[in-house]
């Protein structure tokens, strides 16, 4: 088996999707995941048409529609709820689905035999030996495969081993994410509703099974701790005079269901393959979540890397082809995501007013830039 084994480090959305795409293409992927169970955080994701295309190719679109929620519009508003831009996102042959991350993750790994996931193994290092790659884990385990794919996220150990590069770049934003069953009074069915104010923003959308997912972002120093009053109270204060649905949603959410995270990316300057080793998802091209494309591009990567391995007998050639297909697309999305975060950083009221006017005027340009991102079919 070692001759055909493809080692995948990390069983997040990227690693699980890669295992599925490779099993469908008759390879023998084995995922090594450091946690003791396969799990995802309690938050949502919008799967744009470029990502539902991948689910369709993997035969999972119908199941995703069943557990997710069909989304039709992406609306940007001022903090008080005045519409600035309304983008129809349902004009493709494929739907846009709001889905719980854990539901998406399960759809991917449940369709792969469970023996292909080895849990509780933390990757440490690798060696090349006779065209094979040997991976070594903290437990002392050593395994051999014909190729290795690092899907081990933002602080990828595989990336550090092949590129020796530095920590990701903090982009001066902190986020909060929440889940609740409460449907706020101002919710418009089918809409992702986003609200932009001075140095902060808020958005919410429906996932499947009546769950509302909301997210907030604000400028902050790195590793800023929760306020002494707790994160829920802090958010209630931050958004108290915003569009009514926002304080309603925060109040309706259990504090235990509010996650916070600092936001990082990496300037997309370095290539990410070395011989028969490559990277995928956040390990390869971490991006800010402003375009909502991190997990969507990880799905694209998974599908393309499996296709290249199928087309090229030699994994070195396959990974070169994979990277040449994926580098330009992901580079541009990393850059666009950073660019749009700059619009959210404005804090003085005059600049915010200008930004809001600009967004109104640029409505059709914003809409067409979304469309070209979502129109891509890997």
Ligand X SMILES: Cc1cc2nc3c(=O)[nH]c(=O)nc-3n(C[C@H](O)[C@H](O)[C@H](O)COP(=O)(O)OP(=O)(O)OC[C@H]3O[C@@H](n4cnc5c(N)ncnc54)[C@H](O)[C@@H]3O)c2cc1C
In a 3-state reduction of DSSP, which class is residue 287? coil
> Is the Cα torsion angle 370, 371, 372, 377 positive or negative in sign?
positive
- Angle, alpha carbons 87-91-97 (nearest 5°): 80
In a 3-state reduction of DSSP, which class is residue 203? strand
Does 323 help bind ligand X (rule: CB under 6 A)? no
DSSP state of 181: S
Residue of 291, 352, 356, 300 lying closest to 325 (CA atoms): 300
Q: What are phi and psi of 42, to 5 degrees?
A: -80, 80
- C-alpha to C-alpha distance for 307 and 298, rounded to whole angstroms: 14
Does 282 help bind ligand X (rule: CB under 6 A)? yes
DSSP state of 58: T
Q: What is the crossing angle of helices 363-375 and 49-57, to 10°?
A: 10
- Helix or strand holding residue 31 (H, E): strand 28-33
Does 10 help bind ligand X (rule: CB under 6 A)? yes
Using CB under 6 A, pick the residue from 69, 76, 123, 202 that binds ligand X: 123
Least separation in angstroms between CB 371 and ligand X:
17
How many CB atoms are closer than 10 A to CB 204?
25
Quick one: 294 exposed, middle or buried, by C-beta within 10 A (0-12, 13-18, 19+)? buried
Using CB under 6 A, which residues numbered 158 to 197 contact ligand X? Answer: 175, 177
Does 344 help bind ligand X (rule: CB under 6 A)? no
Least separation in angstroms between CB 15 and ligand X:
5
Least separation in angstroms between CB 354 and ligand X:
27
- C-alpha to C-alpha distance for 231 and 124, rounded to whole angstroms: 35
Segment near ligand X (CB under 6 A), from 53-61, 270-278, 287-295, 364-372?
287-295
Least separation in angstroms between CB 261 and ligand X:
5
Using CB under 6 A, pick the residue from 151, 250, 304, 305 that binds ligand X: 151
Segment near ligand X (CB under 6 A), from 9-17, 67-75, 185-193, 341-349?
9-17
- C-alpha to C-alpha distance for 163 and 214, rounded to whole angstroms: 36
Does 285 help bind ligand X (rule: CB under 6 A)? no
- C-alpha to C-alpha distance for 290 and 97, rounded to whole angstroms: 17
Least separation in angstroms between CB 283 and ligand X:
6
Does 11 help bind ligand X (rule: CB under 6 A)? yes
Using CB under 6 A, which residues numbered 216 to 275 contact ligand X? Answer: 261
Segment near ligand X (CB under 6 A), from 52-60, 108-116, 295-303, 360-368?
295-303
Segment near ligand X (CB under 6 A), from 12-20, 77-85, 326-334, 351-359?
12-20
Least separation in angstroms between CB 328 and ligand X:
18
Least separation in angstroms between CB 170 and ligand X:
12
When the beta carbons of 80 and 125 are compared against ligand X, the nearer one is: 125
Segment near ligand X (CB under 6 A), from 81-89, 106-114, 282-290, 347-355?
282-290
Using CB under 6 A, which residues numbered 47 to 106 contact ligand X? Answer: none
Does 305 help bind ligand X (rule: CB under 6 A)? no
Q: 260 - beta bridge partners?
A: 176
Segment near ligand X (CB under 6 A), from 8-16, 106-114, 241-249, 310-318?
8-16
When the beta carbons of 156 and 321 are compared against ligand X, the nearer one is: 156
Least separation in angstroms between CB 13 and ligand X:
5
Cβ contact 260:176 at 8 Å: yes
- C-alpha to C-alpha distance for 250 and 86, rounded to whole angstroms: 24
Alpha helix segments (H runs only) across the chain: 13-24, 49-57, 61-67, 101-109, 157-163, 231-238, 245-252, 294-311, 315-345, 349-361, 363-375
Does 289 help bind ligand X (rule: CB under 6 A)? yes
Using CB under 6 A, pick the residue from 178, 292, 315, 344 that binds ligand X: 292
Q: How many residues bind ligand X (CB under 6 A)?
A: 33
Using CB under 6 A, which residues numbered 100 to 119 contact ligand X? Answer: none
Which residue's structure tokens are 């007998």? 313
Q: Which parts of this chain interact with ligand X (CB under 6 A)? A: 9-15, 32-35, 45-46, 122-123, 151-154, 157, 175, 177, 261, 281-283, 289, 292-296, 298
């Amino acid at each position: 088996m070692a001759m055909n084994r493809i080692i995948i480090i990390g069983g997040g959305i990227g690693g699980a999707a890669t295992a599925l795409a490779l099993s469908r293409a008759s390879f023998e992927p084995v995922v090594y995941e450091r946690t003791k169970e396969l799990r995802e955080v309690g938050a949502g994701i919008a799967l744009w048409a470029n990502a539902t295309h991948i689910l369709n190719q993997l035969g999972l679109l119908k199941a995703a529609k069943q557990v997710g929620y069909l989304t039709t519009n992406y609306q940007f508003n001022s903090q008080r709820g005045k519409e600035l831009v309304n983008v129809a996102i349902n004009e493709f042959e494929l739907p846009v689905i709001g889905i719980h991350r854990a539901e998406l993750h399960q759809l991917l790994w449940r369709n792969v035999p469970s023996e292909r996931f080895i849990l509780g193994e933390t990757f440490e290092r690798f060696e090349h030996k006779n065209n094979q790659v040997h991976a070594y884990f903290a437990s002392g385990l050593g395994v051999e495969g014909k190729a290795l794919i690092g899907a081990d996220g933002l602080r990828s150990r595989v990336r550090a081993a092949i590129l020796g590069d530095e920590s990701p770049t903090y982009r001066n934003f902190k986020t909060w994410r929440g889940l609740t069953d409460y449907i706020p009074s101002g919710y418009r069915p089918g809409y992702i509703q986003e609200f932009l104010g001075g140095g902060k923003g808020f958005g919410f959308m429906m996932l499947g099974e009546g769950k509302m997912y909301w997210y907030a972002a604000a400028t902050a120093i790195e590793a800023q701790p929760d306020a002494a009053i707790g994160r829920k109270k802090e958010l209630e204060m931050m958004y108290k005079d915003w569009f009514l649905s926002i304080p309603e949603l925060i109040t309706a959410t259990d504090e235990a269901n509010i996650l916070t995270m600092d936001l990082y990316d990496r300037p997309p300057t370095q290539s990410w393959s070395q011989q028969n080793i490559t990277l995928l998802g956040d390990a390869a091209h971490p991006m800010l979540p402003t375009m909502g494309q991190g997990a969507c591009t990880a799905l694209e990567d998974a599908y393309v890397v499996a296709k290249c391995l199928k087309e090229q007998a030699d994994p070195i050639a396959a990974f070169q082809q994979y990277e040449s297909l994926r580098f330009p697309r992901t580079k541009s999305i990393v850059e666009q995501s950073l660019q749009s975060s700059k619009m959210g950083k404005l804090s003085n009221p005059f600049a915010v007013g200008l930004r809001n006017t600009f967004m109104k005027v640029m409505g059709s340009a914003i809409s067409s830039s979304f469309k070209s991102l979502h129109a891509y079919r890997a």
